[in-house]
Chains A and B, each alone.
Chain A
Amino acid sequence: MASIRLERLTKRFGKVVAVNNLSLEVRDGEFIALLGPSGCGKTTTLLMIAGIYRPTEGKIYFDDVLVNDVAPKDRYVGLVFQSYALYPHMRVYDNIAFPLRLAKVPRKEIDRKVHEVAKLTKIEELLDRMPGQLSGGQQQRVALCRALVKEPEILLLDEPLSNLDARLRIETRAEIKRLQRELGITSILVTHDQVEALTMSERVAVMHQGVLQQYGPPDELYDRPRNLFVASFIGDPPMNLIPVEFKETNGKPSLVADGFVLPLGEAWGKVLGQMDQGKFTLGIRPEDVRLSTEKEENALLGEVFLTEPLGGGTLVHFRFGEISFRALASREIKVEVGDKLWIVPDQEKMHLFTSDGLSVREVGRQDAHQG
């Protein structure tokens, strides 16, 4: 096991900046995820950690040792690729035994270890097959075995679940998490699937266009997104994001857009009143909204445009001019298209972002630091 530290890591391919000034720390034995849309530089980061790509700038430390110039074979990493990358000309057994043979482990020892790891992932009966004869899920397990058999210090997983069908994905998710816990290997999971990242890892690093957006535990990303990108990327159904203006309306501080007026509570009114700008983006998660038939304070009236039953609740769509707004209604409330309902956002769980896309909470914190 090892800790990992990335310092101002940058990778350029020609003019394209794949990873930009990335600093990140992974504690010994921790399971973290690199999360982002495709092309955000997360796989490039992983390949730099594995030693396949050489960073253009910046440093990579394992256990406080600079490993920039250490060859992949001496980094003691196990890597599972999205495509599994099994050796097609070798039996499953030989695939798994390959790293051990290269390390000149005695034959008996190899045999013992291969069977041990195959048992762990329940593929013992497949050892004599060729990779081409296996299903996707089985190949995935073989790839995992091959990565684990050499008892790596660091386990790198590049979209290991995305080629599996939905049910198998959920099973394997739990399986990998269990294995990681049992073996206590420092692990990095690369994924574009937020559910995967949030459920499996202890901390999540959200990346966008090569830049780290936010790094923290799943709850923190969900409850306190630092910027507009994280807010829009995390959460399903996604957060409502509405461009608004901060104005006095009917004698109350309010957020105003075309056909949309939301009176603000005292706390927000105070915070926004101190800011030197009036244009914001309002973010409210559909589940942080209560729907009511009675008029309430700090609420706005909307007409139901569309309903989507989700089983556990109903996703209710409203329209205000160009703006569409989603709210999650509990099962008890019966909602019909055309109903007029009061939308009551939980003001404490509301997010406001400045025109730079930064969360207002974050701006306040930075000001506090500077002051």
Chain B
Amino acid sequence: MNRKKERRYVAPSTWTRIVRRASRGVPYILLALSSLPILSMYLWLLMSSLSSKVLFGFIPAEFTARNWRFLWEPIQMGAAAHLSVWKATWNTLIFAVSVMLIVVLVATLAGFALSRMQFRGRESIMRLIILLHAFPGITLLIAIFYVLYFLTRATHIKFLDSLWGVALVKASLEIPWSAWIIKGFFDNIPWEVEWSAYIDGCNRFQAWYKVILPQLKPGIAAISIFSFLAGWGEFIYLYTFIFSEQNQTLSLLIKALIGEFRFTDYGLLAAVSLFYIVPVLIFFIFTQKGLMRVTVGGIKGGR
């Protein structure tokens, strides 16, 4: 034990300290640079929707409200008139809400079955669900077309070129993943809690309504939000299966505006696009609390 004073502690020099402190800013600079393109996209949208002319892509030259005139008058492009933006919004809303309702109804029941019931093939179904979710939806376009076509022929109910027909398709693609989320919430409700409800005097319906449903609320909120947003932002299925202008949603309207031959009114396009985003933002602000719960992990903690 005679190693005394062999090692010495050295305090960092002032210069080292300055370099270290400065280098702490580097990650922020890198992150800011890499997110610049994303930010500039929205900046472009905002600027070009509010001006008749932009310099270098995003510096507004002349402010105008003309691009927003679609709010109070029909969109006229050369000789053709487009669907009114309000009608398209209404269509989008109907579509998104239908998707949401179908998803919530089916996914809740499916989640219950996957979590609570023992049946043959349960494991493989759950594996299949994950696989289904990883499937690129576009590969199914033609097959779905045939299904909708034959359904229409067989039942004389309009599945093609109808909003709720496509909502059915979109919902069916959202259901597996939503059922998976709901299953997780069911898994978190112990059997004993349900049994307690029966012993405390509930019949099956009361046990479901008073004890189980309240604990599923965050999960139902989450899948409602996700499926609504998925419906609101849907494009490819609507583009393929909706033919008449009367049934256009906002995404199809925007596509039509871009697709105008020879000439695209970028100011108008930007304004409509912003208009398309705003409800989503509002919706998100009101529901983000519910969304956060999912990542926190359901009902643990009891609140």
Chain B residues near A87: list those with CB within 8 A: 193, 196-197, 211
Q: Which of A52-85 contact B (CB under 8 A)?
A: 52, 71-73, 75, 77-79, 81-83, 85
Knowing A81-B192, A83-B192, A87-B193, the reply to whether A50 touches B202 (Cβ < 8 A) is no
Name 12 interchain pairs, CB-CB below 8 A, sorted by A: A52-B195, A52-B199, A71-B203, A73-B198, A73-B199, A73-B200, A81-B196, A85-B190, A85-B193, A85-B196, A87-B196, A150-B200
Complex Cα distance A154/B218, Å?
Answer: 36
| Closest Cβ–Cβ distance, residue A121 to chain B (whole Å) | 17
Q: Does A131 contact B (CB under 8 A)?
A: yes
Chain B residues near A309: list those with CB within 8 A: none
Chain B residues near A102: list those with CB within 8 A: 200-202, 206
Q: Does B301 contact A (CB under 8 A)?
A: yes
Instruction: Assess whether A88 is in contact with B200, with CB atoms less than 8 Å apart.
Output: no
Instruction: Assess whether B198 is in contact with A88, with CB atoms less than 8 Å apart.
Output: no
| Closest Cβ–Cβ distance, residue A356 to chain B (whole Å) | 38
Complex Cα distance A29/B202, Å?
Answer: 26
Chain A residues near B195: list those with CB within 8 A: 47, 50, 52, 72, 79, 81, 85
Q: Does A98 contact B (CB under 8 A)?
A: yes
Knowing A88-B302, A130-B302, the reply to whether A73 touches B193 (Cβ < 8 A) is no
| Closest Cβ–Cβ distance, residue B71 to chain A (whole Å) | 43
Chain B residues near A78: list those with CB within 8 A: 199
Q: Does B173 contact A (CB under 8 A)?
A: no
Chain A residues near B202: list those with CB within 8 A: 73, 102
Chain A 93-135 per-residue mask, 1 if CB under 8 angstroms from chain B, else 0: 0000011001100000000000000000000000000111100
| Closest Cβ–Cβ distance, residue A157 to chain B (whole Å) | 13
Instruction: Assess whether A103 is in contact with B201, with CB atoms less than 8 Å apart.
Output: yes
Q: Does A167 contact B (CB under 8 A)?
A: no
Q: Does B49 contact A (CB under 8 A)?
A: no
Chain A residues near B197: list those with CB within 8 A: 87
Set B200, B210, B299, B303: member contacting A146, Cβ < 8 A: B200
Q: Which of B286-303 contact A (CB under 8 A)?
A: 299, 301-303
Give A84's nearest chain B residue, CB to CB: B192
Chain A residues near B190: list those with CB within 8 A: 83, 85
Instruction: Assess whether A79 is in contact with B302, with CB atoms less than 8 Å apart.
Output: no
Chain B residues near A130: list those with CB within 8 A: 302-303
Complex Cα distance A133/B215, Å?
Answer: 17
| Closest Cβ–Cβ distance, residue B184 to chain A (whole Å) | 15
Chain B residues near A369: list those with CB within 8 A: none
| Closest Cβ–Cβ distance, residue B257 to chain A (whole Å) | 48
Instruction: Assess whether A79 is in contact with B196, with CB atoms less than 8 Å apart.
Output: yes
Size of the B side of the interface (Cβ < 8 Å), in residues, is: 21
Q: Does A89 contact B (CB under 8 A)?
A: yes
Instruction: Assess whether A73 is in contact with B203, with CB atoms less than 8 Å apart.
Output: yes
Q: Which 9 A-B pairs give the minimum distances between C-beta atoms?
A: A132-B302, A88-B302, A85-B192, A102-B201, A99-B200, A72-B198, A73-B201, A89-B214, A81-B192
Chain A 24-62 per-residue mask, 1 if CB under 8 angstroms from chain B, else 0: 000000000000000000000001001110000000000
Most buried by A among B196, B202, B211, B214: B196
Chain B 174-205 per-residue mask, 1 if CB under 8 angstroms from chain A, else 0: 00000000000000001011011111111100
Complex Cα distance A138/B195, Å?
Answer: 21
Q: A75-B199, A78-B199, A83-B190 are in contact. List 16 more A-B contacts (CB 8 A).
A: A47-B195, A72-B198, A73-B199, A77-B199, A83-B192, A86-B302, A87-B196, A87-B197, A87-B211, A88-B299, A89-B302, A89-B303, A102-B201, A131-B302, A132-B302, A150-B200
Instruction: Assess whether B215 is in contact with A88, with CB atoms less than 8 Å apart.
Output: yes
Chain A residues near B198: list those with CB within 8 A: 51-52, 71-73
Complex Cα distance A89/B192, Å?
Answer: 15
Instruction: Assess whether B301 is in contact with A132, with CB atoms less than 8 Å apart.
Output: yes
Instruction: Assess whether B215 is in contact with A89, with CB atoms less than 8 Å apart.
Output: yes
Chain B residues near A133: list those with CB within 8 A: 302
Give A74's nearest chain B residue, CB to CB: B201
Complex Cα distance A78/B302, Å?
Answer: 23
Give B213's nearest chain A residue, CB to CB: A89
Chain B residues near A98: list those with CB within 8 A: 200, 210
Chain A residues near B206: list those with CB within 8 A: 102
| Closest Cβ–Cβ distance, residue B298 to chain A (whole Å) | 10
Chain A residues near B299: list those with CB within 8 A: 88-89
Complex Cα distance A150/B199, Å?
Answer: 11
Chain B residues near A99: list those with CB within 8 A: 200-201
Instruction: Assess whether B199 is in contact with A72, with CB atoms less than 8 Å apart.
Output: yes
Complex Cα distance A81/B197, Å?
Answer: 12
Instruction: Assess whether A50 is in contact with B199, with CB atoms less than 8 Å apart.
Output: yes
Most buried by A among B199, B214, B215: B199
Complex Cα distance A82/B192, Å?
Answer: 9
| Closest Cβ–Cβ distance, residue A305 to chain B (whole Å) | 43
Chain B residues near A72: list those with CB within 8 A: 195, 198-199
| Closest Cβ–Cβ distance, residue A47 to chain B (whole Å) | 7
Complex Cα distance A150/B200, Å?
Answer: 8
| Closest Cβ–Cβ distance, residue A210 to chain B (whole Å) | 20
Instruction: Assess whether B192 is in contact with A88, with CB atoms less than 8 Å apart.
Output: no
Q: Which of A324-359 contact B (CB under 8 A)?
A: none
Complex Cα distance A73/B48, Å?
Answer: 67
Complex Cα distance A103/B203, Å?
Answer: 12
Complex Cα distance A37/B190, Å?
Answer: 23
| Closest Cβ–Cβ distance, residue B191 to chain A (whole Å) | 9
| Closest Cβ–Cβ distance, residue A334 to chain B (whole Å) | 44
Complex Cα distance A73/B211, Å?
Answer: 15
Chain B 93-104 per-residue mask, 1 if CB under 8 angstroms from chain A, else 0: 000000000000
Complex Cα distance A85/B198, Å?
Answer: 12
Give B204's nearest chain A residue, CB to CB: A71
Q: Which of B196-240 contact A (CB under 8 A)?
A: 196-203, 206, 210-211, 214-215
Knowing A99-B200, A102-B202, the reply to whether A132 touches B303 (Cβ < 8 A) is yes
| Closest Cβ–Cβ distance, residue B143 to chain A (whole Å) | 40
Instruction: Assess whether B199 is in contact with A88, with CB atoms less than 8 Å apart.
Output: no
Complex Cα distance A72/B192, Å?
Answer: 13
Complex Cα distance A131/B206, Å?
Answer: 21
Complex Cα distance A102/B192, Å?
Answer: 18
